[in-house]
Chain A
């Protein structure tokens, strides 16, 4: 059986990268995820892998482009301001259909903001971030275990769809220690006939680019990407439900917020309030359909986020007007307490006349 360890989320993610067969990591230190680069700089060379501290985040993401283009499992990680710097490169990666894993250990913004946890990068992560029509597959871990598990999943999904995958974590999940078990994982054999690894006589030249200067060809490329995103929407939706069976009210939250909501749910249930928790695991593709189904038997939903109200827009799209969708959040790296959330729930219950 796999050994269980006590690790920080950032370290668990780094260890999982090694086990997932990550060939190359490029990064630039930034709080609250500098442990990733530190850990990999120490451990990756032992496995004959590449680690490079780039001169900037712009360089990191373009190094990822190069390594991914050559067919390697490539990865970078950063925190909010660093991820902003990478957006041009991420758009190019998506345009050129290069698989890679990008990890954002979200801190509070905008600007340099603060190093404390936040979820203000939801829009950036799920609605584009860089320019042009593209989507990232976005995974939102809410535990140290998932920080590890989603590295494997992220690399696999990236390869499956030839698309960048973003793991959207936050400062608290990155910094906290919990138990983590590294489940056995077999690194798939490299099967990337499109990679630029030198042209043999037997085939045409491989060509990796996001440049299609003729609009007719660009549109064909766009349509191909869209077909892929449609397939991702159909096949890769992931979420977790707790106590939604008998729930009259539902908290919707991802990542750290979902953990705090779980405690709030326990406190509210002790008071006899039937509340459940819906936790999107993929933020793209978003579980719109399941939310729509749940809305049929729920009085209202409360989206709890560490921002000024971003995911709540997707909850509303899912619910599509069937029931009220409310929002509660804290900003600036401040966190709501479970008691705050219960108080908000009770206030809303009175407001909606459901008490």
Chain B
């Protein structure tokens, strides 16, 4: 198994922590992982991304230009990364923030209103976990249990009371995709 994923959006949307949680979950399952954040001027200008690679084998380059999957949470990231999804790959996007999704027909393009759902769950910050839940429904590269295990490491102890709502968010994301009934 080799999954080469990019997660991209605005700073504050939980882009880096989404990728990091996935990376930690990969470690829980003793897979090889690499997590490469953007730390440059684009981050200072408000957008952020991270390349997360999960593999059964040793990972060569942490930096790649073509992706098996892209998770994009804002329009600039959609415009930038949609062309870089490999043929047959997955493009998952947040549909409340992105009005113009890619028109490619050779990849799977799935939009979910994660931001809206997060507001209904009364915690805007769990939007990224809804997206992660949706992603894992489409690409079960790690188990949800491993994500929950990982969250215990990613979240400082004083936030462990938030583990439950994160779990709910993951489930919500999975449901949203399930309801689309495409997969």
Interface set of A (CB-CB < 8 Å, partner B)? 4, 6, 31-32, 114-116, 171-172, 175-179, 256, 259-260, 262-266, 333, 335, 337-339
**Whose C-beta in chain A lies nearest to the C-beta of B53?**
A178
A114-B41, A262-B60 known; A175 vs B36 contact (CB < 8 Å)? yes
A114-B40, A176-B37, A263-B60 known, 5 other contacts, Cβ within 8 Å: A6-B24, A115-B41, A175-B36, A265-B60, A335-B63
CA distance A333 to B39 in the complex (A): 12
> In the complex, what's the smallest C-beta–C-beta distance from B49 to chain A, in angstroms?
13
The 8 closest A-B pairs by CB, nearest first: A263-B61, A262-B60, A337-B65, A263-B60, A177-B35, A176-B36, A260-B61, A259-B61
Given contacts A171-B39, A177-B20, contact A260 B63 (CB under 8 A): yes
**In angstroms, how far is the closest chain B Cβ from the Cβ of A288?**
26
What separation, in Å, do the CA atoms of A177 and B39 have in the docked complex? Answer: 13
Q: How far is the CA of A265 from the CA of B59 in the complex (A)?
A: 13
Q: In the complex, how many residues of chain B place their beta carbon closer than 8 angstroms to a beta carbon of chain A?
A: 21
Contact across chains for B39 and A178 when beta carbons are under 8 A apart: no
- CB-CB < 8 A to A333: which residues of B? 40
- Which of B1-44 touch A at CB < 8 Å? 20, 23-24, 27, 32-37, 39-41
Contacts of B96 in A (CB 8 A): none
* Listed A/B pairs (11) with beta-carbon separation below 8 Å: A115-B41, A171-B39, A176-B35, A176-B37, A177-B35, A256-B62, A259-B61, A262-B61, A263-B64, A265-B60, A338-B64
Q: Which residues of chain B come closer than 8 Å to A6, judged between CB atoms?
A: 23-24, 27, 33, 35
A6 and chain B: residue at smallest CB distance = B27
Check B168 for interface membership: any CB of A closer than 8 A. Answer: no
Residues of A within 8 Å of B40, CB to CB, are 114-116, 333
By beta carbon, the residue of chain A nearest B37 is A175
A338/B61 in contact, CB under 8 A? yes
Q: How far is the CB of A330 from chain B (nearest CB, A)?
A: 11
Contacts of B32 in A (CB 8 A): 179
A175 touching B39 by the CB < 8 A rule?
yes
- Docked pose: A339 CA to B86 CA in angstroms: 13
B66 at the A/B interface (Cβ < 8 Å)?
yes
